[in-house]
């Protein structure tokens, strides 16, 4: 008897739970179906346009008396009154469906200005296509005055194989000595100037496309001390090579970081035809920013240095010192380049100097040779500054820097031997 009573009670409870489950399912189904129904906006396009035209001709717009617009045929949802009159784009085609513009926009969407005019109101939420455009590459169109040409190349270093991969991509705006130009490029890995790799000659074009690849085998210990040199030549009818310009590219750590291919472009530079001075020459740039009170020095390269080669392995660096009233203020050094009489640096240094101090300040650039045993020897020095300290080309370089603020002024200077005290 007790078992039958338990079965009856269990069946009753199960039936009630089943009824509750069915009721809840029906309720959820009704709500779901309600979300799929759309409400048609009252009014027709004719009524909306008539109301808009009458409102514009007879009386000014009232913020709360907005015109009712019909739903566009391609918009399957209710359009709020504050957003009526927008331009809608159908999802199934690229054609625009233009709804009449509401001459009375919602007052809460308009910016509150003292004048209260609606002419300056901007569309909220509009997409500005200018923000999604990539910056235009002007490297093939913008060339500075007197440019000898521009060269594109790529550099990649494989650490495991110890190979330097150089890609010669293209050149643009080459200045040929004749009407036609037939360029070729020779690649050097300085300081070794005896061996080089050469590209194919491109006939009758000032904008050659090379797309050639070259491999230099170089140790990972010395690769950062080497300099890539690209010499661009024009081949005339007698097959003589005339130099159009060159590019020197030091292989620094940041350039070779990671096993990735980097595409770089550089402007061609004319080769200096002047013979080196007795103790060598140093090329650097000067610039002064009067707004930031910053003096910038870019040490580019040296040539014709007289190294003491009888002292084993040597390296050369440049020491840049800022002086004021012949008193030392600050000193900075470039990285050392191993055993080259024509080292390339391309390193930038900045010094803090007020405009009032430039009449008594000067820069001293000293080329120093390091030898085994941490011994150093000064190979030569250049001092640039005002009339108080310098004359000739050094004074002209300083004055040109002051006359062209925020512009790099580049010049060669002869090194002078430092007299021992």
**Cα–Cα nearest to 157, from 83, 262, 73:** 262
Residues facing residue 230 across a β-bridge? 187, 247
Kindly state the tokens that stand for 130.
């200018």
> In sequence order, what DSSP letters do the residues of 118-157 get, joined into one string?
STT---TT---GGGGSPPP--TTT---TT---EEEEEEEE
pLDDT tens-digit series, residues 291-330: 899 999 999 889 888 887 665 667 899 999 999 988 889 9
Residue 184 has pLDDT above 60, yes or no: yes
**Which one is predicted more confidently, 189 or 73?**
189
Q: Is 402 helix (H, G, I), strand (E, B) or coil?
A: helix
- 36 vs 331: which has the higher pLDDT: 331
Q: Is 305 exposed, middle or buried (0-12, 13-18, 19+ CB in 10 A)?
A: buried
Largest CA distance in the chain: 127
Between CA 273 and CA 284, with CA 279 as vertex, the angle to 5 degrees is 60
Q: Taking a C-beta distance cutoff of 8 angstroms, is the pair 345, 250 a contact? A: yes
Q: What's the mean pLDDT when you consider all of the chain?
A: 77
Q: Do domains 147-268 and 280-415 have the same CATH topology?
A: yes
Q: CA–CA separation, 104 vs 209, rounded Å?
A: 60
| φ, ψ for residue 33, nearest 5 deg | -65, -30
* In the chain, where the domains are located: 147-268, 280-415
The yes-or-no verdict on residue 235 having pLDDT over 80 is yes
Q: Which tops the pLDDT comparison, 254 or 95? A: 254
Superfamily for the 280-415 domain: C2 domain (2.60.40.150)
Q: Which residue has the higher pLDDT, 413 or 421?
A: 413
Q: Tell me whether strands 192-198 and 183-190 are parallel, antiparallel or unpaired.
A: antiparallel
Q: Is the pLDDT of residue 120 over 50?
A: no
Residue 69 CA: distances (Å) to CA of 88, 106, 211: 13, 14, 61
The DSSP annotation for 203-256 comes to PS-SS-EEEEEEEEE--TTTGGG-EEEEEEEEE-TT--EEEEEEEEEE--HHHH
pLDDT score recorded for residue 343: 87
Residue 4: the pLDDT is 79
CB 184 within 8 A of CB 231: no
Q: Is the pLDDT of residue 365 over 90?
A: yes
Q: 188 or 83: which carries more pLDDT confidence?
A: 188
**How many Å separate Cα 324 from the centre of its chain?**
36
Per CATH, the number for 147-268 is 2.60.40.150
Q: pTM higher than 0.95, yes or no?
A: no
* pLDDT mean over 331-336: 92
- More confident call, 137 vs 168: 168
Write out pLDDT tens, residues 239-293: 888 888 888 888 876 667 666 677 888 888 887 656 667 888 999 999 999 889 9
User: Quick one: average pLDDT of 149-173?
Assistant: 89
Lowest mean pLDDT among 274-283, 333-342, 402-411: 274-283
Q: Using an 8 Å Cβ cutoff, are 297 and 320 in contact?
A: yes
Residue 212 in this model has a pLDDT that exceeds 90 = yes
pLDDT at 122 exceeding the cut of 90 = no
Do residues 339 and 314 lie in contact, with contact meaning Cβ atoms separated by under 8 Å?
Answer: yes
Contacts of 158 (CB under 8 A, 6+ apart): 165, 259
Supply the pLDDT for residue 363: 94
Q: Answer for the pair 116, 228: CB distance below 8 angstroms, yes or no.
A: no
**5 exposed, middle or buried (CB, 10 Å; 0-12, 13-18, 19+)?**
exposed
User: Using H for helix, E for strand and C for coil, what is the string for 35-97?
Assistant: HCCCCCCCCCHHHHHHHHHHHHHHCCCCCCCCCCCCCCCCCCCCCCHHHCCCEECCCCCCCCE
Q: What is the pLDDT of residues 59-81, one digit of tens each?
A: 444 444 444 445 555 555 555 66
pLDDT for the residue 367: 93
What integer pLDDT is reported at residue 17 of this predicted model? Answer: 87
Number of other residues whose CB lies within 10 A of the CB of residue 339: 15
For residue 51, the model assigns a pLDDT of 44
């Amino acid at each position: 008897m007790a078992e039958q009573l338990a079965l009856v009670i269990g069946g009753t409870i199960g039936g009630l739970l089943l009824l509750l489950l069915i009721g809840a399912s029906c309720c959820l189904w009704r709500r779901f179906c309600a979300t799929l129904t759309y409400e048609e906006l009252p009014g027709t396009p004719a009524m909306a346009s008539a109301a808009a035209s009458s409102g514009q001709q007879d009386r000014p717009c009232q913020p709360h008396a907005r015109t009712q617009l019909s739903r566009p045929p391609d918009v399957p949802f209710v359009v709020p009154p504050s957003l009526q009159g927008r331009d809608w784009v159908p999802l199934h085609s690229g054609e625009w469906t233009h709804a009449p513009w509401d001459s009375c926009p919602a007052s809460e969407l308009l910016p509150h200005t003292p004048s209260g005019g609606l002419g300056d109101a901007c569309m909220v939420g509009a997409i500005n296509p200018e923000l999604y455009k990539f910056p235009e590459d002007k490297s093939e169109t913008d060339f500075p005055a007197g440019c000898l040409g521009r060269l594109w190349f790529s550099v990649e270093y494989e650490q495991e194989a110890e190979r330097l991969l150089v890609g010669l991509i293209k050149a643009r705006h080459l200045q040929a000595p004749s009407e036609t130009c037939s360029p070729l490029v020779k690649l050097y890995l300085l300081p070794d100037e005896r061996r080089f790799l050469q590209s194919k000659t491109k006939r009758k074009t000032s904008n050659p496309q090379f797309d050639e690849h070259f491999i230099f085998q170089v140790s990972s210990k010395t690769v950062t001390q080497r300099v890539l040199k690209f010499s661009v030549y024009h081949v005339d009818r007698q097959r003589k090579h005339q130099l159009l310009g060159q590019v020197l590219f030091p292989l620094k750590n940041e350039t070779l970081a990671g096993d990735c291919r980097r595409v770089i472009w550089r402007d061609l530079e004319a080769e200096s035809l002047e013979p080196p001075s007795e103790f060598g020459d140093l090329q650097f740039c000067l610039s002064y920013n009067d707004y930031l009170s910053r003096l910038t020095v870019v040490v580019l390269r040296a040539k014709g240095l007289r190294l003491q080669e009888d002292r084993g392995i040597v390296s050369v660096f440049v020491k840049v010192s800022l002086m004021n009233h012949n008193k030392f203020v600050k000193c900075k050094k470039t990285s050392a380049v191993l055993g080259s009489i024509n080292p390339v640096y391309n390193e930038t240094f900045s010094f803090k100097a007020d405009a009032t101090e430039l009449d008594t300040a000067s820069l001293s650039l000293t080329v120093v040779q390091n030898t085994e045993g941490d011994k150093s020897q000064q190979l030569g020095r250049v001092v640039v500054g005002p009339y108080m300290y310098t004359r000739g080309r050094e004074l002209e370089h300083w004055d040109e820097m002051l006359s062209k603020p925020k512009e790099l002024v580049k010049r060669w200077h002869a090194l002078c031997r430092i007299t021992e005290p």
